[in-house]
Amino acid sequence: MTSNHISSTRASEADDTEEGEAPVQTIADLVAAGKATQVGAAAERARAAEITSIAAIAARMGVNIDAAQAVERGTSPEALRAAVLNTAAERDDATAVSTAAPLPPMEAGPKQPKRNSLKALAEKQAARLRAAR
């Protein structure tokens, strides 16, 4: 069944081109040939491809775009491109950038050496013994 569909599609494509005529490839060629439905389909494919490309670029910029939804809604590539650039610019403006390294945390006063609690206990005991003599 699938092979019949493919062959019938190829047959209908062959009917569109007359013998000796080159296949129509560009939108301008389609317009000149008077094939408006093919022009519309080619334009829609080009728009969808450009929207997909913009969505890929937006993803690299950290902006999430639903390309399928943009195609379905009929969003123009120019409007989508402007929205992506505006969103990226807003995010860049909101991001604080500092070229200086952060300072280490400051402590109040000079550092005190840590006391060994066992040593401190021994010193107290020695002081008591001296005082008791």
Task: Calculate the average pLDDT of the chain.
Answer: 75
Q: What is the pLDDT of residue 105?
A: 75
Q: What distance, in Å, lies between the first and last C-alpha atoms of the chain? A: 115
Tokens for 48? 């969808």
Residue 101 · residue 76 · CB < 8 Å: no
Is 116 within the bounds of a domain? no
| Domain boundaries, position 80 | 22-95
Question: Is 74 domain-assigned?
Answer: yes
Structural domain includes residue 122: no
pLDDT at residue 97 above 90? no
Tell whether 119 is covered by a domain: no
Angle formed at CA 78 by CA 76 and CA 83, multiple of 5 degrees? 100
- Do the Cβ atoms of 71 and 47 come closer than 8 Å? yes
Whether 60 shows a pLDDT value over 60: the answer reads: yes
Q: Which of the 8 DSSP states describes residue 24?
A: P
CB 65 within 8 A of CB 59: yes
As a residue count, the chain comes to: 133
Q: Which residue has the higher pLDDT, 5 or 42?
A: 42
In a domain, residue 126? The reply is no
Residue 99 has pLDDT above 60, yes or no: yes
Confirm if 17 and 23 have CB atoms less than 8 A apart: yes
Sign of CA dihedral 29, 32, 34, 39: positive
Q: What is the pLDDT of residue 46?
A: 92
Each residue of 9-53: pLDDT tens digit?
Answer: 333 344 444 455 555 466 667 666 666 677 778 889 999 999 999
Residue 33 C-beta-side C-alpha neighbours within 13 Å: 17
Structural domains in the chain (count): 1
* Structure confidence at residue 15 (pLDDT): 43
Is the residue at 35 inside a domain? yes
Q: Is residue 63 part of a domain?
A: yes
